[in-house]
Amino acid sequence: MSSPAVHAEGLGKRYRIGRLRGRHATLRETVSHRLSYVTRAIGSRLTRDGRPPPADDLFWALKDVSLDIPRGEVFGIIGANGAGKSTLLKILSRVTKPTTGYATIRGRVGSLLEVGTGFHPELTGRDNIYLNGAILGMKRSEIRRNFDQIVEFAEVAKFIDTPVKRYSSGMYLRLAFSVAAHLEPDLLLVDEVLAVGDAAFQRKCLGKMEQVAQQERTVLFVSHNMAALSNLCRTACRLDQGRLVDLGVAQAVIRRYLLEGRMQEEQDLRRHPGRKAGHRALLHRVRLLENGATSAVFRTNGPFELEVDCVAPTDELKSVSLGFLIRDSLGASVFASTMDQYDALAPNRMGHLRIRASIATLYLSPGAYTASLYLGNGLYDLDVIENAIGFDVLWEPTQAIPLPPGEGWGPVVVPVCWDWNEGQAPSPG
């Protein structure tokens, strides 16, 4: 495998709380900084002894982040405000130095960190294009070759010889993005560009980033716009208070972020809307477990358990067999199992029966799935609940399979052992 575009190891950045930003802070940054400054001021006023916080009040904006991003990947970075996303990009673009760890990057880096960093306000649009190209290490002829495209994409032809300090924020942004994307960087870092600019330009940026990625270049994209992120990025990570807390297929990382704390790991089935008409409620509860702990989020090639409580006042649970069917998010069947198939009929019991199905290795691709439940006695169904419970499967890189499956690879991931030797080509005939 070729070496990754980005290799980060143990990256950490420590800041002093309350330190003011440099004069290049953007409006949005300044505002959010002011806000956090205010909340900190309130917080410090509330300290018990009433004294100001100690001078060495340091905190980690980024802590122990290790990452490998392959070449040609469009990689998303998500996380709440202050999670450390911009800090990570700033370290990768060498705007700031890490306190711990290091990052190696292959090739030229084009970055659009904040609107127009790297632009000189007194210079014209034209001069700034050449300046940025030179910073990227490009020859004048290379820049000239891309010049018209940059200007055209940015839609600033009329103002190309005007100092950029006279540009509207939209023009500024368009030119900054256009420069970053057209100067043939091997790695394009884009922070929140879509927060500004109109819908048409946002679409244009997304299209351009896709194009850049198709040329085997790598894109790192920070955004709070989950729809844009999931359309554009194949893989993503999530930062939380400076730490890397999730990594994998972008959709799964996003879904988990959005659903966190709201997912169902247990369903009361007694009045479930998915119950097939005409059945008495014998299925009472279903729980999903991972290594004995309830969960709604599982891992590709990790363990999965489904536990169902059945309750019947009479001998209706005599020799019952439970079955389940797993469907993908579009409703297509992926796999099923029943107790009869394993000759595992439950004993004659009245009252309460708890049945557990354990899967040692869940060969499911990352995505959203449901489990439908079927309780029968070998002759007919006693109780049926369609899509009784939903769960998510996420990707987690393992030594055996370091990268997630691609788009359109189907619903299962089966571990494969790859082997080769340098033999001779088979001779014809």
Ligand X SMILES: Nc1ncnc2c1ncn2[C@@H]1O[C@H](COP(=O)(O)OP(=O)(O)OP(=O)(O)O)[C@@H](O)[C@H]1O
Question: Which one of 74-82, 225-233, 270-278, 360-368 is the stretch in contact with ligand X (CB under 6 A)?
Answer: 74-82
The residue among 80 and 412 lying less far from ligand X, judged by its C-beta, is 80
**If contact means CB under 5 to 8 A according to the sort of partner, which of ligand X, Mg ion, none does residue 94 touch?**
none
- 3-class DSSP state of 200: helix
| Interacting residue with ligand X among 10, 19, 137, 294 (CB under 6 A) | 19
- Count the residues of the shown chain that bind ligand X, applying the rule CB under 6 A: 14
The residue among 85 and 287 lying less far from ligand X, judged by its C-beta, is 85
Task: Answer yes or no: are the C-beta atoms of 66 and 244 closer than 8 Å.
Answer: yes
Question: Which one of 14-22, 121-129, 311-319, 394-402 is the stretch in contact with ligand X (CB under 6 A)?
Answer: 14-22
Q: Cα angle vertex 245, ends 39, 18, to 5°?
A: 25
Question: Least separation, in Å, of the C-beta of 225 and ligand X?
Answer: 12
**If contact means CB under 5 to 8 A according to the sort of partner, which of Mg ion, ligand X, none does residue 81 touch?**
ligand X
Cα 69 from chain centroid (whole Å): 13
Enumerate residues 6+ apart whose C-beta is below 8 A from 202: 194, 228
| Residues within window 309-348 making contact with Mg ion, judged by CB under 5 A | none
Question: Least separation, in Å, of the C-beta of 21 and ligand X?
Answer: 5
Burial of 270-296, coded b for 16+ CB within 10 Å and e otherwise, reads eebeebeeeeeebbbbbbbbbeeeebb
Task: Answer yes or no: are the C-beta atoms of 17 and 54 closer than 8 Å.
Answer: no
**If contact means CB under 5 to 8 A according to the sort of partner, which of Mg ion, ligand X, none does residue 176 touch?**
none
Question: Least separation, in Å, of the C-beta of 278 and Mg ion?
Answer: 55
The residue among 250 and 413 lying less far from ligand X, judged by its C-beta, is 250
86 in contact with Mg ion (CB under 5 A): yes
State the angle between helix axes of 199-214 and 169-182 in degrees (0 to 180), rounded to the nearest 10.
Answer: 10
Quick note: the x/- pattern for ligand X over 80-119, rule CB under 6 A, is: -xxxxxxx--------------------------------
**If contact means CB under 5 to 8 A according to the sort of partner, which of ligand X, Mg ion, none does residue 79 touch?**
ligand X
Task: Answer yes or no: are the C-beta atoms of 13 and 64 closer than 8 Å.
Answer: no
| Interacting residue with ligand X among 7, 9, 14, 32 (CB under 6 A) | 32
| Interacting residue with ligand X among 7, 14, 36, 340 (CB under 6 A) | 36
> Between the CA atoms of 167, 173, 179 and 184, what dihedral angle is there, to the nearest 10 degrees?
180
Closest CA to 12 of 62, 47, 57: 62
The residue among 88 and 384 lying less far from Mg ion, judged by its C-beta, is 88
Strands 333-338 and 297-299: unpaired
Q: Give the up-direction half-sphere exposure of residue 137: CA atoms within 13 A in the CB hemisphere.
A: 7
34 in contact with ligand X (CB under 6 A): no
Quick note: the x/- pattern for ligand X over 200-239, rule CB under 6 A, is: ----------------------------------------
325 in contact with ligand X (CB under 6 A): no
Give the whole-angstrom CA distance, residue 415 versus residue 363: 8
Task: Answer yes or no: are the C-beta atoms of 253 and 246 closer than 8 Å.
Answer: yes
Cα 260 from chain centroid (whole Å): 13
Question: Least separation, in Å, of the C-beta of 149 and ligand X?
Answer: 30
The residue among 81 and 314 lying less far from ligand X, judged by its C-beta, is 81
Strands 109-112 and 187-191: parallel
| Interacting residue with ligand X among 79, 98, 185, 197 (CB under 6 A) | 79
Task: Answer yes or no: are the C-beta atoms of 190 and 180 closer than 8 Å.
Answer: yes
The residue among 16 and 165 lying less far from ligand X, judged by its C-beta, is 16
Residues that bind Mg ion (CB under 5 A): 86
Q: Which residues bind ligand X (CB under 6 A)?
A: 15, 19, 21, 32, 36, 61, 79, 81-87
